[in-house]
Structure 1
């Protein structure tokens, strides 16, 4: 069996995987998934009546969304709507808990 010589790829055919824009998009995608996971935990805390835990999770989800690209992230409008809905839910739960 003979070894095949390594073929050099022309520079124009090599696609770089470490471009800054690609890294930003990947970071934004991970942050969106993280924020979604945190928001699911937020809703679970609300369901269980843990308002302080829910509040802390909501602040954490906001930080994850803003760190992942915030207003420039592809899913920004969806993220903002989810945060607004979460804030409304927490406000209503606290309001109803006071009586």
Structure 2
């Protein structure tokens, strides 16, 4: 499974620590369904935030669990970096996926 790492501009606060780097993994069908259970897929920003909370592997030395509330607390620049990371890890997953034969 592919992962993608990047850095926040402002950071995510976890407890007393502010972490600047993050790692995301590819999404699974389970992630999409769980995110949709938490928020409506008809609200793309909320759905993206819920999905990000499930795809986060780590932020700094913190390895989860991550919540929607933690993602909502991010500075808008950091939320945008996280959303860009979701797109990048999706591309990495597509590149590494085996080709599927169709009839």
| Same structural fold, with TM-score higher than 0.5 when normalized by the shorter chain | no
Structure with bigger strand share is 2
The structure with the larger Rg is 1
State the TM-score, normalizing by the size of structure 2.
0.35
Structure with bigger helix share is 1
State the TM-score, normalizing by the size of structure 1.
0.36
